[in-house]
Amino acid sequence: MVRLADLPEWEREHLIEKGREAPRFTSRPWVKGVALGQRRVAIVTTSGVHRRGDRPFSVIPDTEYRVIPGGTEASELVMSHVSVNFDRSGFQEDVNVVFPVDRLQELARDAIIGSAADFHYAFMGAAWPPTRFEPKARELAGLLKRDGVDAVLLTPV
């Protein structure tokens, strides 16, 4: 997004307030790994994307996630994020502008990454404060490891 300084005052104030409420972590975890060409990568998005038949995300934001199997067709993906304050027209035209699953598979085919995960995951990022996500993030870590994942691409909306 453009820098906060370039936004209209009302939007800048809203985002500055969110920043004031954001958690400050005292530790700086850092996991090293193998070269990118050997990594198995999963996407975790907070965009509220899910398969058409899945339960839509609720107007009362929670920290539940939806599972998106790697082979899911773009035509099966919809978005039920509760916020009305971001553009959806890009996603409506092309899933990859939010959830770049086709691009990730291309990188695997071109051996830029080792492989794409069998399962990707989607949250709705509206739950606040973000520390609420800790239990589900830790649950997800276990699931990702069982899928052989050693690198996670996190994408907002």
Partner 1 sequence: MGALGHYLEVDGLATTQISLVREHTEIMEPPRALWVPFMLGRPFGAPNAPAFQRKVLIAALRLLEAERGPVLEDFPEDAPAGVDVNDTEGFACPVNLSRPKPDPNGGRDVTRQLLDELAQLLPWHDLAVKRFGRSTVGISGLAIEDAVRYATAHLGETPPSSYDTQISVAEALKRACDDLKAFYYEAAAAQPGNPVGDEIQKWFWRQTTAGKLLLDLQEVCRKSADQGMQMLGRSLLVPRAVVHTIKLHSK
Q: Please select the residue that binds partner 1; options are 17, 62, 64, 94, rule is CB under 8 A.
A: 94
| Contact flag: residue 156 with partner 1 (CB under 8 A) | yes
Report 74-93 residues binding partner 1 (CB under 8 A): 74-75, 77-80, 82-93
Instruction: State the burial class of residue 35 (Cβ atoms within 10 Å of its Cβ: 0-12, 13-18, 19+).
Output: exposed
| Contact flag: residue 111 with partner 1 (CB under 8 A) | no
End-to-end CA separation in angstroms for the chain: 10
69 vs 103, beta carbon nearer partner 1 = 103
Structure tokens at 67: 């599972």
Q: Please select the residue that binds partner 1; options are 66, 120, 124, 125, rule is CB under 8 A.
A: 125
Q: Please select the residue that binds partner 1; options are 69, 103, 146, 148, rule is CB under 8 A.
A: 103
Q: Please select the residue that binds partner 1; options are 68, 107, 116, 122, rule is CB under 8 A.
A: 107
Distance separating alpha carbons of residues 72 and 53, to the nearest angstrom: 12
Report 24-53 residues binding partner 1 (CB under 8 A): 24-25, 27-33, 35-36, 39, 41, 44, 46, 52
Amino acid at 48: G
Query: How far is CA 98 from its chain centroid?
Result: 9
Contact 99, 45 (CB under 8 A): yes
The phi and psi torsions of 92 (rounded to 5 degrees) equal: -60, -30
Size of the site for partner 1 (CB under 8 A): 86
Cβ at position 7, least distance to partner 1 in Å: 10
